Amino acid sequence: MDVLITGEPEKLPPEIRALVDAQHPVPADTDFFEQAFSLQGLLFPAFIGVTLAVLGALMLVMALVMLVTLRRNTVYDSLTVEMWLGGAGFTFLFAGWMMLGSLKTRYRLIGRQKAGERTRYGLFLTGDSLVSNSLFQTTVIPRPAFRGLSGGAFRYEFRGEVKSETLPGALVCRDRPALEAAIRRWASVG
């Protein structure tokens, strides 16, 4: 099996899909490290979302002002600056909107965790794979593709390149040293 990275659960193999689905129990031979969500964790995405939205709105206003106020000899004279500025403004505005939209999901996850529910976001160590399940994607890394831990991240080989993914910052009922030790044990098997 190769490394699989997808944001669509239906593309996951059935045994992995069952792992990330909270309706199914975590198998006894699987070690699950649940990512903890907190209100402090909302601050950075909120800051980035607001910043992107404000910058996008400013770029759009600047592009519109430039379109209205600048005199041109022809219609096509120098419209590229306004078009690029407007396009970048729309892109920043959309990215900010998407980032702010993810806050609602994160806030719901905080509530579910406070109520004692398992969210299934975090790392799974199965017999032969490391599975990282986040809000945006699921990464399935078979043991032969795993390349170790480095600076708070795990590394793996994907299509001939070594990639890395950050370990969860906080865990539910567990700590980071326990996660790193479990990954080292998992990697040393086989």
Question: What pLDDT digit, counting tens, does each position of 94-119 carry?
Answer: 999 999 988 998 898 888 888 888 88
Provide the residue type at 90 as one letter.
Answer: F
What is the Cα–Cα distance from 44 to 29, expressed in whole angstroms? Answer: 35
Question: Which pLDDT tens digits describe the chain residue by residue (190 residues)?
Answer: 789 999 898 899 988 898 888 888 888 889 999 998 888 888 988 999 999 999 999 999 998 888 888 766 555 555 677 888 899 999 999 999 999 988 998 898 888 888 888 888 999 999 899 999 988 899 999 999 999 999 889 999 999 999 999 998 888 888 889 999 999 999 988 6
Given a contact cutoff of 8 angstroms between Cβ atoms, the answer to whether 46 and 105 are in contact is no
Query: How many other CB atoms are there within 10 angstroms of residue 77's CB atom?
Result: 10
Q: Can you give the pLDDT at residue 161?
A: 93
Q: What is the pLDDT of residue 78?
A: 59
**CA–CA gap between residue 135 and residue 108 (Å, rounded):** 12
Query: CA–CA separation, 34 vs 173, rounded Å?
Result: 8
pTM above 0.95, yes or no: no
